[in-house]
Structure 1
Amino acid sequence: MVVLNKIYTKTGDDGETALGNGARVAKHSMRVTAYGTVDELNSVVGLARLQADGDVDASLSRIQNDLFDLGADLCRPDMEKDGEAEYTPLRIVGSQVDKLEAEIDGMNASLNPLRSFILPGGTALSAYLHQCRTVARRAERLTVELATMESVNPAAVKYLNRLSDWFFVAARMANDGGKADVLWVPGANR
């Protein structure tokens, strides 16, 4: 259980922060940058939820919770030492990726195939979901870069990759099932 009685601790005033295993690192470290971007993504999902309702809102709520799981996963290095931890560290698991894939397949089944790239826009919800998609892609790139330096849960990378796909398909659904997608017209303004 998390208990936050005092919001500021002053322990980060020197430019360092604590990871989930207690190690102190620079706030600009790649690991902090990766999970910080996941936190940013969660905020953008919150904005998208302002436009969502029903099943989409429920899925976005679940995704927000998953993103906290992902942040907890990324802030805890040394996966090989998970068994030695005082408590089992929280890690993204395959079933979270599977859930995204099932939802993508379900949404995509009703969409016409794309014959052009899509410009972010259309409805407000679609625009926000496209913003979620681009922040998810950045979080994925940073997490993949982190994985070249330190151990990273492979399921975390898969989750981010599928999540950006989920946002893309959901954005199309938010545009009247793709009928209101804003299509790119190559060279239209030459």
Structure 2
Amino acid sequence: MSIATKTGDRGITGLMYNRRVSKCHPRVEAYGCVDELNTAIGLARATTTHDFVHANLLSIQSDLVLLMGELATAVEDIARYVKDGYKLVVPEMTAKLDKLIQEIELQKITYKGWATPGASLQSAALDVARTVCRRAERRVCALQESDQLQNLEIIIYLNRLADLLWLFARWVETKAESVANPSQLA
């Protein structure tokens, strides 16, 4: 079987359970943005030299695969999706992000230059992931506003993830600064 199925040549694509929709359908826009987010996080993970960031980004990517599956399922098919053994985004996933945020906030990190990403390749990659996450969040909010989203935890998760990615970028910058100027963070 070829990857080029040609089923999308007329501008339609498939959701779970063989539902066909336009490639510009709000649901496709939402899970497409999360797919971009997953890729941006993959780039951030590939560029980081910090095990703490690397391991947590990999775990988040696993969560995003689950989240995309839920978004790729029409509201009327969610019960079937769950019955078939697929998992939904749950508050415990967001709680893991909250715990990481609290852990980072307990450390002495710098916010110097936070509004101008690019202090390092690693922090810039994390800031790109953060902005893609905010776009994904907006697309999911559009689904919710049009009554096409059953699970509001998805919005909460993406909101918290954007906060965490911002903090990861600042944490990476602080670590780089402390290596370059150890006396500044004493």
Same fold (TM over 0.5): yes
Aligned CA RMSD, in angstroms, stands at: 2.1
The 3 A distance-change label for structure 1 pair 128 and 113 is: closer
Q: Pick from 30, 35, 58 the counterpart of residue 34 of structure 1.
A: 30
Where do 5+ consecutive residues of structure 1 fail to align? 181-190
Counterpart of 2:139 in 1: which secondary structure?
A: helix
The 3 A distance-change label for structure 1 pair 50 and 102 is: same
Q: Pick from 96, 101, 117 the counterpart of residue 98 of structure 2.
A: 101
After superposition, give the CA deviation of every residue in 1:77-107 in whole Å (9 maximum; x if it has no partner): 216x533455034311111100011001101
Matched residue pairs, number? 175
Where do 5+ consecutive residues of structure 2 fail to align? 179-186
Q: Distance in 1 between matches of 2:21 and 2:48?
A: 38
The residue number in structure 1 matching 2:40 is 44
The residue number in structure 2 matching 1:155 is 153
* Contact 2:104–2:167 (CA under 8 A) maintained in structure 1: yes
- Determine what percentage of the aligned residue pairs are the same residue: 35
The 3 A distance-change label for structure 1 pair 140 and 55 is: same
Please list every run of at least 4 consecutive aligned residues from structure 1 whose deviation after the TM superposition is greater than 4 angstroms: 112-117, 177-180
Letter in 1 for 2:21: V
Q: How does 1:30-109 map to 2 (within 5 A)?
A: 30-53=26-49, 54-78=51-75, 81-85=77-81, 87-109=84-106
Letter in 2 for 1:49: R
The alpha-carbon deviation at position 112 of structure 1 amounts to: 4.8
* Contact 2:38–2:64 (CA under 8 A) maintained in structure 1: yes
Q: Distance in 1 between matches of 2:176 and 2:155?
A: 28
TM-score normalised over the length of structure 2:
0.85
Q: Distance in 2 between matches of 1:6 and 1:116?
A: 48
Letter in 2 for 1:158: I
* Contact 1:82–1:89 (CA under 8 A) maintained in structure 2: no
The alpha-carbon deviation at position 32 of structure 1 amounts to: 0.1
The alpha-carbon deviation at position 177 of structure 1 amounts to: 4.5
Q: How does 1:129-148 map to 2 (within 5 A)?
A: 129-148=126-145
The residue number in structure 2 matching 1:22 is 18
